Amino acid sequence: MQYDVIVIGSGPGGYVAAIRSAQLGLKTACIEKYATYGGTCLNVGCIPSKALLDSSEHFYNAGHTFQSHGINLKDLKVDIAQMMKRKTEVVQKNTAGISFLFKKNKIDAYQGMGSFKDKNTIVITAADGKTQEITGKNVIIATGSKPSSLPFIKIDKKRIITSTEALTLTEVPKHLVLIGGGVIGLELGSVYARLGAKVSVIEFMDGIIPTMDKALGKELQKVLSKQGMEFYLGHKVTGATVKGKEVTVTFDSPQGEKKELKGDYCLVAVGRVAYTDSLGLDKIGITVEERGRKITVNDHMETSVKGVYAIGDVVRGAMLAHKAEDEGTYVAETIAGQKPHINYNLIPGVVYTWPEVAAVGQTEEQLKAAGIKYKSGSFPFRASGRAVASGDMDGFVKVLADEATDEILGVHMIGPRTADMIAEAVCAMEFRASAEDVTRMSHAHPTYTEAMREACLAATANRPIHI
């Protein structure tokens, strides 16, 4: 065999699997169909969206909060071309970093579409149609996902767009109609709302970010409404059509009332489906699930075919970059004969709006449904000295702990820098800390992290100091 490991796809799952395999002394190849490495995350996902979120946040603050700091600016204007150029440079720096890491780790990188000839042979078809074959003892499928739509909506990529096109608009929409109040939609909706667009969110469920603790969705909706976004919850989209530069989105209210909104762009953000096109899975007998087209794997990420593994968005579980990375490491170490572990209950979820939303572990709704008795302690950022100083007083930290043992079962945060703060909760929970344990740890003052300690104090016998 030419290789010990062949990885198909170079997203966070694939490139991490390739690097970890090479670190463990396995001869490794990685195949990527696009010209740059890094997959959805680096090219059209996490990184460009965060670059635009940062830029738009600066613009919003310059127009809304700088005055209270005694900084007066006149004639603020958005230079969208420059904003997009910066975003592209950020992406390029990150994707170039992966090329560097591949070389450093002596990973053979192939450009082209990978497909199975048999379970050990992969055919690589380049853009010009030329093919070559490589063989490997183990194959890791890390082909990720692509945006999905509603069956009755045609994405024209100009006026009715997905997240990919929303990252490259050449103008700020006047009115962006957003279908879907989940993480990706709200992040991109926030970008354009901060830049001055009217943003209307139509969500089928009765709350935004519906998979997270309900209290987070409620608070986020309150803050985003203050920032000018409008919400149609429990509403069912029935169609979207384009005429010239105008998009009309039709939808039904919970009472069945027919409604419509007209905008210049409609962003469809209703989820993503696994990407397995052109892999030739049928040739080796791997089937995909009907719903979401995901590849079935066992607890060791191995498919029904021995020596063929699958990781990241293409398999069950949260569609998150860090989950894909963890699985990449897991499979490489498994192939190398180690016994790695992943705690799926402790994969944090983050929404990079402002305030940020971050959570790990079980929600109150899940604990109630499971009949687990718990204590809850909350601390609002308006009582945090650090938050008052920076002016970021929306939001709270909520800690849920087992009623009998005090073990932390879930932490739910909305507020400044909670995307970074959640790491403390993950760490505490991985080591099965009690809320009391966290209260006994020194937290630097003044920092936002003190809110975590205060919420733990609130959860243990209701004894927060600052509220």
Q: Which residues are catalytic, by number?
A: 445
* Min CB(360)–ligand FAD separation in Å: 13
Report CA torsion sign: 73, 79, 80, 81: negative
- Beta-strand pair 160-161/265-268: parallel
Q: Which stretches of the chain bind ligand FAD, using CB under 6 A?
A: 8-14, 31-34, 39-41, 45-46, 49, 113-114, 142-145, 163, 184, 275, 278-279, 312-314, 319-322, 324, 352
Cα–Cα distance for residue pair 343/323, rounded to 1 Å: 10
Chain-centroid distance, C-alpha 124 = 29
Closest by alpha carbon to 146, among 169, 167, 164? 164
* Min CB(142)–ligand FAD separation in Å: 5
Cα–Cα distance for residue pair 319/323, rounded to 1 Å: 7
The nearer residue to ligand FAD, 187 or 450, going by C-beta atoms, is 187
The nearer residue to ligand FAD, 41 or 435, going by C-beta atoms, is 41
- SS3 label, residue 409: strand
* Min CB(445)–ligand FAD separation in Å: 29
Cβ neighbours of residue 130 under 8 Å, at least 6 residues apart?
none
* Min CB(248)–ligand FAD separation in Å: 25
Cα atoms found within 13 Å of the Cα of residue 137, Cβ hemisphere only: 11
Closest by alpha carbon to 245, among 266, 229, 230? 266
The nearer residue to ligand FAD, 229 or 435, going by C-beta atoms, is 229
Cα–Cα distance for residue pair 435/412, rounded to 1 Å: 14
Radius of gyration of the chain (CA): 23
Cα–Cα distance for residue pair 144/284, rounded to 1 Å: 19
Place of tokens 């010990």: 4
**Within a 10 A sphere around the Cβ of 90, how many other Cβ atoms?**
18
DSSP classification of residue 407 = B
The nearer residue to ligand FAD, 45 or 217, going by C-beta atoms, is 45
Cα separations in angstroms, 384 against 52, 144, 454: 28, 40, 9
* C-alpha torsion 308→310→315→321, nearest 10: 180
* Min CB(398)–ligand FAD separation in Å: 22
Closest by alpha carbon to 375, among 282, 460, 264, 295? 460
* Min CB(446)–ligand FAD separation in Å: 27
Report the amino acid identity of residue 113: M
- Report whether 324 contacts 141 (CB < 8 A): no
* Min CB(351)–ligand FAD separation in Å: 8
* C-alpha torsion 15→17→21→22, nearest 10: 10
- Beta-strand pair 113-118/121-125: antiparallel
Cα separations in angstroms, 178 against 110, 191, 391: 37, 12, 29
* Min CB(138)–ligand FAD separation in Å: 16
